[in-house]
Amino acid sequence: MTEVVGTLLETTGWTDYALLDMGAGEKLERYGELTVVRPEPQAMGPRRLSAETWAAAGAAFTGDTEEEGPGRWRTTTRLSTWEMSVLGLPFICQLTSFRHVGVFPEQIVHWSWMADRIRARVSAGGDRPRLLNLFGYTGLASLVAASAGAEVTHVDASKKAVQWARDNQALAGLDAAPIRWIVDDAVKFCEREVRRGKAYDGILLDPPRFGRGPEGEVWSLNEDLPHMLDLVRRILAPGPSFMILTAYAIRASFLSIHELAADLVGHRQGRLESGELVLVETGDPTRPGRRLSTSMFSRFEGAS
């Protein structure tokens, strides 16, 4: 297996998304028609845009600076939901009490990579590739995969998140796309798939640091990731299948997840690449944008 460590996968945004500025412990971003301010412990430098630009944001999150902590939005906008689009797919945004708005923009690099591989499989002929999206949240990766030609199984513990994902499916006009929406604990679901002898051509997992299954099952990334990855290894099809793991809000180097993944897929022919997902600031056109690391990733692609 080839190993590539230390890759920075950068996103400079797209029509509907921009990281405009960061500094003094906060970041200023544009999500479609709404500009928002959120806490960002890594924004240690000075702000580049004016105080007026920051003050004109439609919503600002105040509260716990920990990624998973609760908090509130202070708003000057009347928007409670609005639309934006990614890779040609429209979706719904909302201000949630967990500071998120329904999309993690840095994930676009993984979604494009995944969609390229699905399209290549589809154009090579044969059955639709099977894609498993664990901790799938508002379903954007599931919709990107389905529109590229995959048959998708989407798993999330939250009924509310799955409903949001279904609403996104309807908005994108993908009602007829082959997507199974499953409200379940990701670990329990994978244990069942191992017992059933199921196999997937692609598996995405973007687990939170802490979470709960629908029946109160506790998910703790540090404790449960090794078992989860072992299950993933067992349901990942042989040959040119792929796995994309992202982890955020944990105090660790990407090497920790790289080595874990290497132990699990090291016996296979293929390529394992690890590093960080990075947003690049674009608000000041007169200067090169600063980079902001949002999360760490490891992705594996089996050789054909």
User: Which residues of this protein are in contact with ligand SAM, per CB under 6 A?
Assistant: 104, 107, 135-138, 140-141, 155-158, 161, 185-186, 206, 208, 211-213, 217, 219
As measured in angstroms, the least distance from the Cβ of 111 to ligand SAM is: 8
CA distances to 16, 50, 157, 213 from 173, in Å = 19, 40, 24, 29
Residue nearest to ligand SAM (CB): 211
Decide: helix, strand or coil at residue 250. coil
- What's 56-85 look like in SS3? CCCEEEEECCCCCCCEEEEECCCCCEEEEE
Sign of CA dihedral 218, 221, 225, 227: negative
Specify the residue, 60 or 162, whose C-beta has the smaller distance to ligand SAM: 162
Terminal Cα distance for the chain, rounded: 13
Q: How many whole angstroms from its chain centre is CA 61?
A: 20
For residue 112 the two structure tokens come to: 């494009």
Specify the residue, 18 or 21, whose C-beta has the smaller distance to ligand SAM: 18
As measured in angstroms, the least distance from the Cβ of 205 to ligand SAM is: 8
As measured in angstroms, the least distance from the Cβ of 136 to ligand SAM is: 6
Specify the residue, 131 or 155, whose C-beta has the smaller distance to ligand SAM: 155
As measured in angstroms, the least distance from the Cβ of 228 to ligand SAM is: 10
In whole angstroms, what is the distance from residue 105 CA to residue 52 CA?
Answer: 25
Specify the residue, 54 or 61, whose C-beta has the smaller distance to ligand SAM: 61
Specify the residue, 3 or 191, whose C-beta has the smaller distance to ligand SAM: 191
As measured in angstroms, the least distance from the Cβ of 13 to ligand SAM is: 16
**If we measure between CA atoms, which residue out of 234, 303, 304, 294 comes closest to residue 110?**
294
Specify the residue, 129 or 211, whose C-beta has the smaller distance to ligand SAM: 211
As measured in angstroms, the least distance from the Cβ of 75 to ligand SAM is: 22
Spatial contact of 86 and 168, defined as CB atoms under 8 Å apart = no
